[in-house]
Structure 1
């Protein structure tokens, strides 16, 4: 056949001819032999998928195996229904036989975790499931995820997460099993080498009103964000959040868990226990006490004072009168117990009987007050829980096994990213910052000391006292003479900034005088421009500061409370602006440090360093004196009947455990036999066990319940600055949380002395410092 002749039309329609270009034609000058596309350049043949209607119940076993067992996630019913519709549409009848559904669900779970989604897969939990599926659908062919396929829907979907993870930038890498999304998350996509390596760049002061408004969902056993507008009169369910937090925390304690199938798990009971091995303690709801007179029970409830003046115990099911005249505190003199606190009471329920044998005592329905009274044998606070256990990131009892309790690592408690989503990245950034500090120190010293991130904390800074300005000048001058890397990165100044309530009509200070006090402080700060240029100053108000003092008269005002208004702080801000303008940062060898600044925050407040890595809570309140005034007293009768106290000893053994101090910290530790040290231990244990900064009734310490997340200590912060002017200064660690009280800046005494605390963030240890001026 002539190679230049035109073939017959029938040849072009032979079976198996797949050439996209027809044969040559002399009229159009086409070549004799058509160009054939290589197999690698040929477009993929799109396999048609016949959609099916896949019930969610049918997909549930595959979803459970993929999300729960493989990725440690929990999928909600609404999300399961959405995934079932997606798999039925894009995978068709081969979702089970060919394993298409499992591969697709595995990709969805990976993207969800990289986007910072919560442990529960549902809409509004840190990532958008609909956006993930929309992007994934554009990258699928034949029910499989195709590597390198571009998705037009990715540009339309935008971000898949409120955390900032961008699906449009996710690449597909081929793997042995059909390809998978093996791209980096948004944290890894950002070039960490371009980030600032100065530690103060990663310091953030968070006001109480900027914290996420979280509430604990009892049904889902997870935290949810309140989307309603904050109000002064929230629904009663918002006020039960604290009880629900303590209750779920207590049930995760191993002493309250059944030991069936948990061999090898250590328990809290002592070796001398007469109980059977593996016994767990059970809580009895108050409503279940009816008809069980003469039996012993363990109750968890809120201590309250009844209208008749008697003590009562309240839980979500009812109220019972409480008799603690023969109760024993656990530990002895180790904590305060006052109305408004949640306590564990072990004792015997006794009913009141008439001649006819009927039961007296008011309403016996659920939620009401039941008759009789509960005779307490022992009372203690709920056991505290370490931060790593609450976040599910720590080891159990020092073993290599990860703890199964907790698991709230995906919850963003501070609004800066959760521990699971940001913790690893922030620790890498912290290491780079510390490495930069080491290199800078090695250039100036022959033997560089370990890098430190120091915070100087001063409390009860009464600016209307002229001695306070002299004391501050002494503290600032002592740090101003040090090298740059030895100075504190942050100075925390805590009120009250005046000795009497301001702007309430009865005090000496009005608005003009109050502003003049801060103007005087600005003059003192202007004498130390080096500190203003390289440090961050944080100001936390007290009850005497405006504007709360205008109507409270210095009494306990509503918490959380707003920062000091800008009306009084303009002169101090001007001092920082002037100092920063005089510093030329262009000649620094390392990455330019952020300018010094003054931050005016709320009470309480949080300091976050490197995201969730270092969480420092700050609260100004004379809480110890309020506890001493309202605490209940119990009398132990010498003729008390012999009862089984094994459970009491087990709880005591658990609650009094504190973290051992290191050698340097132990040298600074006060004498444990002194009354001041005893009171400090009682104060720390009481506050941390309760899990709140205000364990009091509303009549004594009002709380804005729609912002109650700001006063909750769950999970425990890495450090707590509990500024109590009525207590002696101390630094001690309890269950991994380092608690510090700087006391008064000017302690009482004939010798003029200034006292403050120097806190080392990296070592999580504080030290009380004193100096004469």
Structure 2
């Protein structure tokens, strides 16, 4: 070796290759040739880009095509402006011709969704748009995104292909846009820490704990109320109550294929017509009431709220005005298939007629008090708005002939119940459900089933009720553990007379004694108390609302029964659980829960959403429904056929529907016909209280708790005045357990058993 030559130490060079320090001293191993980095570690070649000023309006079409059509996201105006500055700075003049902007925006959308961002791309909502752009800017060269060392990974807490740590982007569970997003690192939990018992994933949601959401017409999305709820809100909140209800129905209706100018959204059920002379596709337009002025003698289709005007006339109200309705010759569609009462939102097809000149003034050309226009609207047909299936509202329905998700609805990111949105938690919860049922089946060596026993009108002041409850509990106590219900739902009224604070025959002391008697009955069945959850839902006669309503319709949602009356029942559950050793099992202890009216049962997050509401709705509908005198000769128009199809959706009655012996109409019992009428009316309106506030008061700041949008998977409509039934309408299974003790039969007990997995209920009856 030449002593004057520079020694070569390839290992040392390799170790220090990431940051070589040239030196003339042989002691530092100076290379004999110019040092070259390996290609794998070479930095990306930077190409100079001349920044341009890109207006947001110019970038909007590309952003819409990339974010909305391709990734089903909505971009806000501030976010669009931020992206326009970023694209103009990093892509330059080639953003359009070379397609640089579309590729960059596509990568931003992918990282946004991986980071758990919501459906609206907005800074501070979900993921951090600024953090994504800052990281992406370091990976760009020549207006193009160059992948770094890492590869795209789907695991929790891992980085994307451009170094964005999706596990570190905090969503903060922000409900300002009604969405539920979680950290990507929390999506896949350690299975060793997850309980696989089905009852662990049961959640009883109080109406006062539900997210308070309102529909934003401009953004076409749900937002959370910014003000805190109060019992004494400003009068504007009363107006907002009905405006939100109208906007929900309006946006739902416009997504129907028959109300779209194009071929419509794929996956939506069209409005079927029995015959049509105008082809298979036709769109129908809604006319605002204010636009009727000056169009006397023309036919229109109106959507509005039925109300009684100060003069006593039946009127139709929308966001633009009010018009008097003349329904003396209107046809109800379907005939005797639904109730129409003041407080409901309806579709009315008819002809507008202006008033003639009276005393030298034209009454039909001006608007009066409250936006009322002169003249009247002669209705030819009236129907409710068509219902919308849950999967359509959430945008999770599949297109015809393909497995892709439908973009209609688009509310899959909204957390309506506080348990997580369908898009954020649905897939994960279904995997957990499958594992829970598999582990439960292996433990029981039988098919795992999730059952709910629903008992309505449990009058504890009637001694026969306690005997009936003992019969029901003994029936399930004798069954195997896998055949017992996971949950018992006991619905009031728990007394026949309203509780009045101050003593007397129906005082608070007696009311507590009634629950003490129930605790004695429950103590005889410790196996049920150890392995089941008991849910108690109050009625109008239960405290404390009945103290001032004296049994009349109280405000909803209403608070649960106070703990003052339930101490003995809680003690019975604590005693039963103390007798069972749970060290060898992951099953949660049995418990008793008192909730509000209405309330919700959530099983596995958004997978199973069960709404419970106690009210005698059918009787109130019969008392307040409007009557029409339809002509026998119906005009043959396609509009009538379209309206008929819009409301005459298929109602499948369960094979085990309890139909008492009685008169029948066209092969269908009167009880089944009334049940269909009740179910269709409630679900078409999208609320459990489609009445004016003077008939059924609703807390203005809690009105979203009585909404049925999107439709729940199941609805327990506890009406003591209606015969028990179980039926499915537009994918929502509706059950009415009737009265626990049927009238006229002193030795029978009747309730509903609901299978959560099959989403089917069955009316059961036992004699004692």
User: What range describes the TM-score normalised by the shorter chain of this pair?
Assistant: 0.7 to 0.9
Cα distance change on mapping 1:599 and 1:110 into 2, 3 Å:
farther
Secondary structure at the counterpart of residue 655 of structure 2: helix
- The answer on 1:602 being equivalent to 2:596 is yes
Q: What is the match of residue 562 of structure 1?
A: 559
Quote the offset at 1:315 in angstroms. 0.8
The answer for the alignment partner of 1:494 in structure 2 is 491
Distance 2:392 2:674 in 1: 27
Q: Higher mean Cα deviation, 33-42 or 538-547?
A: 33-42
Equivalent in the alignment of 2:700: 705
Query: How far did residue 765 of structure 1 move?
Result: 0.5
Return the match for 1:684 from 672, 679, 696: 679
Q: Which residue of 2 aligns with 1:202?
A: 201
Moved more, 69-78 or 394-403: 394-403
The Cα of 1:133 is off from its aligned counterpart by 4.4
- Residue by residue over 1:561-606, the C-alpha shift from the partner in whole angstroms, topping out at 9 and shown as x without a partner, is 1111222222222222222222112234xxx111111121111111
Q: What is aligned with 1:147?
A: 149
User: Which position in structure 2 is the counterpart of 1:735?
Assistant: 730
Q: Aligned pair in 2 of structure 1 residues 241, 261: CA closer, same or farther (>3 Å)? A: closer
- Give the whole-Å Cα distance in 2 for the aligned partners of 1:576 and 1:508: 29
**Structure-1 residue corresponding to 2:258:** 255
Distance in 1, Cα, partners of 2:582 & 2:138: 49
8 Å Cα contact 2:689-2:706 kept in structure 1: yes
Mapped partners of 1:283, 1:63: distance in 2: 31
Q: Verify: 1:387 aligned to 2:400, yes or no.
A: no
Distance 1:495 1:706 in 2: 25
Cα distance in 2 for residues equivalent to 1:347 and 1:156:
56
Secondary structure of the 1:586 match is coil
Alpha-carbon deviations, 1:368-390, whole Å to 9, x = none? Answer: 11111111111111111111111
Tell me the CA shift for residue 349 of structure 1: 1.4
Pair 1:45–1:312, CA change in 2 (3 A)? closer
The answer to whether structure 1 residue 230 and structure 2 residue 229 are counterparts is yes
Is the alpha carbon distance of 1:513 and 1:127 closer, same or farther for their aligned partners in structure 2, counting shifts above 3 Å? farther
Aligned residues of 1:345 and 1:376 also touching (Cα < 8 A): yes
Q: Deviations over 1:648-695 (max 9, x none)?
A: 22322332222546xxx4244637622211111111010001011110
In the alignment, structure 1 residue 413 sits paired with structure 2 residue 416: yes
Q: Find 1:696's aligned residue among 677, 691, 696.
A: 691
Question: Take 2:742 and 2:20, find their aligned partners in 1: how far apart are those partners?
Answer: 94
Residues of 1 paired with 2:135 and 2:411: CA distance?
28
Decide which moves more: 699-708 or 346-355: 346-355
Residues 596-605 or 53-62, more deviating: 53-62
Q: Is the 8 A contact 1:560 1:710 kept in 2?
A: yes
Report the more deviating stretch, 283-292 or 96-105.
Answer: 96-105
The answer (yes or no) to whether the contact 1:131–1:157 under 8 Å persists in 2 is: no
What is the match of residue 180 of structure 1?
none
Measured after TM superposition, the shift of residue 531 of structure 1 is 1.1
Correspondence for 1:79: 79
Structure 1 residue 123, shift from structure 2 partner: 3.7
Distance in 2, Cα, partners of 1:275 & 1:408: 34
Contact 2:454–2:737 (Cα < 8 Å) also in 1: yes
Question: 2-side partners of 1:71 and 1:240: how far apart?
Answer: 31
Residues 132 and 747 from structure 1, CA distance in 2 versus in 1: closer, same or farther, beyond 3 angstroms? farther
Q: Could you list the per-position Cα deviations for residues 293-326 of structure 1 after superposition, in whole angstroms to 9, with x for gaps in the alignment?
A: 2222111111111122221111111111111111
Determine which of 717, 737, 744 is the counterpart of 1:722.
717
Q: Which residue of structure 2 aligns with residue 11 of structure 1?
A: none
Aligned position for 2:442: 439
Structure 1 segments unaligned to the other structure (5+ residues): 8-17, 166-182, 443-447
The corresponding residue for 1:292 is 295
**1:666 maps to 2:655:** yes
1:115-514 superposed matches below 5 A = 115-123=115-123, 125-133=125-133, 144=146, 146-148=148-150, 159-163=169-173, 185-186=184-185, 188-192=187-191, 194-231=193-230, 232-234=232-234, 235=236, 236-259=239-262, 267-270=270-273, 272-354=275-357, 358-360=361-363, 363-364=366-367, 368-395=371-398, 403-442=406-445, 448=446, 450-505=447-502, 508-514=505-511
- Give the superposition deviation at 1:355: 6.2
SS at match of 1:603: coil
Q: Deviations over 1:33-86 (max 9, x none)?
A: 689796379684795988946533454344334322321212111111223344
SS at match of 1:598: strand
Q: Pick closer, same or farther for the CA change 1:602–1:53 going to 2, 3 Å.
A: farther
State the distance in 1 between where 2:279 and 2:455 align: 52
Maintained 8 Å contact 1:269/1:647: no
Displacement of 1:706 in angstroms is 2.0
Q: In the alignment, is the contact (CA less than 8 A) between 1:115 and 1:164 conserved in 2?
A: no
Distance change >3 Å, CA 5–CA 686, structure 1 → 2: closer
How far apart, in 2, do the equivalents of 1:409 and 1:579 lie?
41
1:714 CA drift (Å): 0.9
Let me know the Cα RMSD of the aligned residues: 3.4
Q: What's the CA shift for 1:724?
A: 0.8
Worse-superposed segment, 39-48 or 743-752: 39-48
In 1, the alpha carbon distance for the partners of 2:393 and 2:524 equals: 46
CA displacement 1:471-517 (0-9 Å, x = unmatched): 11111111111111111011111111111111345862222222222
Instruction: Pick the aligned partner of 1:529 from 526, 529, 540.
Output: 526
- CA deviation string 1:161-217 (max 9, x = no partner): 13499xxxxxxxxxxxxxxxxx99345542346422111111111111111111111
Report the 3-state secondary structure (helix = DSSP H, G, I; strand = E; otherwise coil) of the residue aligned with 1:583: coil
TM normalised by structure 2 equals: 0.87
Q: Is the 8 A contact 1:115 1:163 kept in 2?
A: no
Preserved contact between residue 500 and residue 508 of structure 1 (Cα < 8 Å) = no
Distance in 2 (CA, whole Å) between partners of 1:94 and 1:294 is 58
CA distance in structure 2 between the partners assigned to 1:528 and 1:138 by the alignment? 67
* Counterpart contact for 1:391–1:419, Cα < 8 Å: yes
What secondary structure sits across from 1:436 in the alignment? helix
Q: How many residue pairs align between the two structures? A: 729
Q: Gaps spanning 5+ residues in structure 2: where?
A: 8-18, 152-158, 176-181, 661-666
Change (3 A) 1:291 1:624: same
Q: How far 1:31 sits from its partner (Å)?
A: 5.2
Q: 2:760 pairs with 747, 754, 765, which one?
A: 765
Contact 2:166 2:184 in 1 (8 A): no
Aligned partners of 2:651, 2:251: CA distance in 1, in Å?
23
SS at match of 1:643: coil
> Which position in structure 2 is the counterpart of 1:15?
none
What TM-score comes out, normalization by structure 1 length? 0.86
